[in-house]
Structure 1
Amino acid sequence: GPRSESGALDAQPWSAAAVAEATSAGRPVLVNLTADWCVTCKINERAALSSPRVAQAVKQANAVYLVGDWTRRDDAITRELQAHGRSGVPLYLVYRPGRAEPDILPQLLTEGVVIDALKP
């Protein structure tokens, strides 16, 4: 199921509403927009997003991890990509409560990049 891809992280499906709900509850949000055919996405998921240290950082930040699956070119995800100047995946965003614009993380992730992005 969907749990296997996310490794140690407990993933929920991405939607704009899910982001808004989490941030209004005072929680940061880590967004992973990905696709099955995206090689870079898979490398990042294995190298960075499935690491126990990242899982720990997510837990400490009380963050929500949302995954948007663009394998079939979902329109809502396409719009989200375009809103951030991207034509494709991967796109990694960190939303913080009280801030309208998310931080955009690099397309090649390391554990450190993700952990730093989740620090308050």
Structure 2
Amino acid sequence: MKKKERRSKTVVVSVTPTELAALKEKFAGTNHRIFAEFVRALLQQEPIVKKVRNQSLDDLHNELISIKNELETARRSFTAAVEHLQTHLPGPAGQEILEFLLAEEFSLTQNMTAIKTLLIQLYEICLQK
């Protein structure tokens, strides 16, 4: 295994604020995580690998995760409510509330289907861009 050589020498380069801003902008578009590594690669004329990302798909992904989390929370709450009713409210009162919740479940299922359709449409729009 090759031992890493310690970087003990410093090179100082003066740049204008505009030049620094341009360097940082180029740095933001690369796979380098550390600005000093990016500058070293430039000085050694190494090829700079640019990030290639689809911002539309990233945005869609974040929205899908948010929607998934909200739906999961709703499912957990609904399941807990039904279990609570089944154990604590036997009889006609419990049956009425259970029927109400089953109707709400049907409504929720319809809304989830509409959401899925909308998500498919959003996905298709993002693919076209």
Q: Same fold (TM over 0.5)?
A: no
Q: TM-score range by the shorter chain?
A: under 0.3
Give the number of the structure whose residues are more often helix, by fraction: 2
Return the TM-score normalized by structure 1. 0.21
Return the TM-score normalized by structure 2. 0.20
